[in-house]
Structure 1
Amino acid sequence: MDMGLKGKTALVLGASRGLGAAIAKGLAAEGVKVYAAARTVSAIQGWASELPPSAGEVIAIELDVSKVDAIDTLIDRLLGEEGVDILVNNTGGPPPCDAIEATRDQWLSNFEAMAANVFHLTGRLLPAMQKRQWGRVISITSSGVEQPIPRLALSNGIRSAVVGWSKTLAAEVAKDGITVNIIMPGRIHTTRVDELDANAAKRSGKSVEDVAAGSAAAIPTGRYGRPDEFADVAVFLASERASYVTGSKIRVDGGATRSV
């Protein structure tokens, strides 16, 4: 299927590893020029060097999403090149903690990096999309926005705010040919999930292998997802084929979320 993405330009945040890297690779494979942003540029350059010659250009950019000045510098650069067609908002997760122990400073600093700065970045890039009457905004959250995950209070709360913003924005820009969607990963096998499993193992006294096996057993598919499986959904939402999908939350979790 022709996804209609050749010649498009994308900005993917958190593209050094995990879900962000997988999405950036998937878009590049479709002929998209990808600005891949993260704090660790060398990691981006590493996976980009392994792409086939037919892939779109990948431009590695050093970016810390917690720093609004750095975000504005990147936006100015992109707007000088007529902006991007596709924006993938993907931020790292906050440290695990219970709601009762989360401090005000933790809420503020993580909200700025995971939500406020994302809203700012998107708002500045939208006018160029509106001018072209075509755009895609995809934000990666978590299955915790539908079924809160124990010990991930900061993530559950802040990512839920991103969902509310995304749904509101979708209605505002639909007339401009711009779609705005959320993808909610479940247990996708990334370094972040390995870190969460290690944290759970330390608290429970179990081995990491036992924790992972227990988590996988609770998923109807009986396994963790692969990053490329998740990325395929993002690539579809970015494509011309998904032009009538907007304001949606899409789960990629192997059926783990039990709510209707």
Structure 2
Amino acid sequence: MDLGISGRKAIVCASSRGLGRGCAEALAEAGCDLVINGLDGARLDATAGDLRARYGVDVKRVVADVSTPEGQKALLAACPSPDILVNNNGGPPRRDFLELDREKMIEGVIQNMISPIEMIQQVAEGMAERGFGRIVNITSISVRMPLEGLDLSSGARAGLTAFLASIARRYASRNVTINNLLPGKMDTDRLRGGLERAAGQAGVSLAEAAATQEAEIPAGRFGTAEEFGKVCAFACSTHAGYLTGQNLLLDGGLYPAAF
């Protein structure tokens, strides 16, 4: 399917690996010119080179922390008038809520709620004036269901979801959509770190810990960054102009609900 976005300009935050890279790759395949972002310059260079070689699109790389005003300024300097924004950022590490002090909680809310809102504030009006905009926020299944130790991440992302619910309706008539993608158990570095911890706690092998978790998922497997990226690219396409204010679960059926 031609997504109708070839030549569009996209900023994909935290995109040198994992789900962010999956989104960047799918958008590059659709013909978008990209600004990719991360903290590891060498990894960003490798990602940018790979995407340029495979898809023939323009790829700029910005080494910066999107949680900071300086990082956001650098991203928007590289792409002042984006057509597409994919908000993504690492979440706070797994902690028992009793270990969270005020400073850690503020940092987590900045990472997973305030920063994406700030990015949207800076691009939404321009998108509306040009008559096209697609904003996708990568949140988490934990917005819908509790995950032990991820209370801060869950709360911040849920706050982002609630905050943007009315904002999405504000821009819908001007062909600017805002949607959230909620990954479940995806085969990423973050998941593998959790598996290693679970295996150590249970005294089993990494393969056994993975098999136990996969068995809990109706699809019988973990998701991939590639398939996650394809859904993101569709949400950014011309065909998704009537899709806004939605929370799309990509979890293999893990979340048990009819609605």
Q: Which amino acid aligns with 1:40?
A: D
Conserved? CA contact 2:11–2:79, under 8 Å: no
Deviation at 1:96, TM superposition (A): 0.3
Aligned residues: 257
Conserved? CA contact 2:64–2:74, under 8 Å: no
Q: 1:153 to 1:233 in 2, by over 3 A?
A: same
Conserved? CA contact 1:72–1:121, under 8 Å: no
User: Which residue number corresponds to residue 162 of structure 1?
Assistant: 160
Counterpart CA distance in 2 for 1:47 and 1:89 is: 18
User: Which residue number corresponds to residue 107 of structure 2?
Assistant: 109
Deviation at 1:12, TM superposition (A): 0.2
Pairs within 5 Å for 1:1-260: 1-51=1-51, 52-79=53-80, 83-260=81-258
Counterpart CA distance in 2 for 1:63 and 1:222 is: 37
CA RMSD, Structure 1 to Structure 2 (Å): 1.5
Q: Secondary structure at the match of 2:82?
A: coil
Deviation at 1:84, TM superposition (A): 0.1
Q: Secondary structure at the match of 2:126?
A: helix
Which 4+ stretches in 1 moved above 4 angstroms?
A: none
Q: Secondary structure at the match of 1:10?
A: strand
Conserved? CA contact 2:60–2:78, under 8 Å: no
Deviation at 1:2, TM superposition (A): 1.2
**Unaligned ranges ≥5, structure 1:** none
* 1:17-62 Cα distance to aligned partner (Å, 9 max, x none): 0000111011011110010011113212213323445432211111
* Aligned-residue identity in percent: 32
TM-score when normalising by structure 1:
0.94
* 1:122-179 Cα distance to aligned partner (Å, 9 max, x none): 1011121011011001000110100111121111111111111222210111111100
**Unaligned ranges ≥5, structure 2:** none
Greater mean alpha carbon deviation, residues 43-52 or residues 212-221: 43-52
Deviation at 1:77, TM superposition (A): 4.4
Q: Which amino acid aligns with 1:235?
A: A
Q: Secondary structure at the match of 2:12?
A: strand
Conserved? CA contact 2:140–2:184, under 8 Å: yes
